[in-house]
């Protein structure tokens, strides 16, 4: 069959190009870590965090001749350790001129806003997850694939470090891991097989599970990574403190013939109770 070609010799082109009536926008990671940690108020320029240490009791002498007066008691001065949380500002700035608006049949502001909202959520969570690197309780390394033994030992270590204050039975314990180790966690029978789980959730059918071994599991590509390993974390919400000066928002401005969208956030995250979290270092890729 003969093909129809453009009749350029007569100045008429029969082929043409069309454009879709919508935009195809990029994907952004949802905010996973920040909603699960403690909001400690507003930091202004900086905030001083007071962390008190444990103290112990003393045994009272059983002697009947001694008087338990003030001078005979062992007094403790409960002095805190003071850490400083310094917030940082983060922004996204987009700009386009009126000629771009005039040259396209689709509105630009709405899709640009959706992209900025997604980018801001991912960026804030990634900045917050950087605090995991400050934890001193660490398990695993760049070659670690998490298994049931690692999960159980980490939970036991958290219970010991907090003297039972972290309890899987209260449902507060959280985990934020890179999706690269999701296949490893899905291979643990106690988390995926109904006869082990004892509930109605069937991860082998759904392809994921939200809770297992007393931990609420979450996955995020924003998990902090260095050149070799991913810094995942298992934590109680009180382990970290976030302080906001400005929550992420989008502001529209005009500059001459240009439309501008500006998203800005100002906040800081710090380790508040080191004993209530473990950094879990694992492989960073599939």
Over 90: is that where the pLDDT of 115 sits?
yes
Q: What is the mean pLDDT of residues 3-11?
A: 54
Task: Average the pLDDT over each of 29-38, 54-63, 213-222 and give the range with the smallest value.
Answer: 54-63
Q: 10 or 259: whose pLDDT is higher?
A: 259
| pLDDT computed for residue 207 by the predictor | 67
| pLDDT computed for residue 4 by the predictor | 54
| pLDDT computed for residue 214 by the predictor | 87
Over 90: is that where the pLDDT of 148 sits?
yes
List Cα–Cα distances, 21 to 104, 108, 281, in angstroms.
10, 12, 45
Over 90: is that where the pLDDT of 19 sits?
no
Over 60: is that where the pLDDT of 190 sits?
yes
Q: What is the mean pLDDT of residues 272-285?
A: 97
Task: Average the pLDDT over each of 6-20, 42-56, 87-101, 175-189 and give the range with the smallest value.
Answer: 6-20
Q: 142 or 58: whose pLDDT is higher?
A: 142
Rounded to the nearest integer, the mean pLDDT of the chain is 90
| pLDDT computed for residue 195 by the predictor | 74
Q: What is the mean pLDDT of residues 117-126?
A: 98
List Cα–Cα distances, 45 to 196, 214, 277, in angstroms.
50, 38, 27
User: Given pLDDT bands bounded at 50, 70 and 90, which one contains residue 226?
Assistant: confident
User: Given pLDDT bands bounded at 50, 70 and 90, which one contains residue 9?
Assistant: low
| pLDDT computed for residue 40 by the predictor | 97
Task: Average the pLDDT over each of 100-109, 116-125, 198-207, 255-264 and give the range with the smallest value.
Answer: 198-207
User: Given pLDDT bands bounded at 50, 70 and 90, which one contains residue 262?
Assistant: very high
- Angle, vertex CA 68, rays to CA 66 and CA 73, nearest 5: 115
| pLDDT computed for residue 105 by the predictor | 83
User: Given pLDDT bands bounded at 50, 70 and 90, which one contains residue 65?
Assistant: low
Task: Average the pLDDT over each of 11-25, 152-166, 223-237 and give the range with the smallest value.
Answer: 11-25
Q: What is the mean pLDDT of residues 216-220?
A: 94
What pTM value is reported for the model?
0.89
Q: What is the mean pLDDT of residues 197-205?
A: 72
């Amino acid at each position: 069959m003969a093909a129809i070609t453009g009749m350029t010799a007569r100045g008429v082109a029969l082929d043409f190009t069309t454009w879709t009536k919508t935009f195809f926008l990029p994907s952004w990671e949802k905010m996973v870590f920040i909603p699960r940690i403690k909001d400690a108020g507003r930091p202004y320029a900086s905030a001083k965090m007071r962390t008190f240490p444990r103290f112990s009791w003393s045994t009272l002498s059983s002697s009947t001749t001694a008087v338990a007066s003030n001078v005979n008691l062992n007094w403790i001065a409960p002095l805190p350790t003071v850490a400083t949380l310094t917030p940082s500002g983060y922004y996204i700035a987009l700009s386009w001129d009126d000629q771009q608006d005039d040259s396209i049949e689709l509105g630009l502001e709405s899709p640009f806003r959706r992209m900025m909202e997604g980018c801001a959520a991912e960026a804030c969570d990634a900045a917050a997850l950087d605090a995991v690197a400050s934890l001193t309780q660490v398990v695993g390394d760049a070659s670690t694939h998490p298994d049931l033994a690692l999960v159980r030992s980490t939970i036991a270590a958290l219970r010991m470090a907090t003297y039972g204050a972290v309890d899987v039975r209260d449902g507060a314990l959280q985990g934020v891991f890179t999706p690269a180790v999701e296949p490893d966690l899905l291979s643990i029978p106690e988390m995926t097989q109904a006869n082990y789980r004892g509930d109605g959730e069937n991860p082998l059918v759904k392809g994921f599970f939200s809770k297992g071994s007393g931990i609420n599991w979450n996955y995020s590509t924003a998990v902090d990574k260095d050149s070799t390993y991913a810094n995942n974390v298992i934590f109680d919400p009180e382990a970290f403190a976030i302080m906001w000066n400005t929550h992420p928002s989008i502001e529209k401005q005009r500059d001459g013939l240009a439309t501008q969208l500006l998203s800005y956030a100002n906040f800081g995250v710090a380790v508040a109770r080191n004993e209530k979290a473990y950094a879990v270092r694992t492989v960073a890729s599939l």
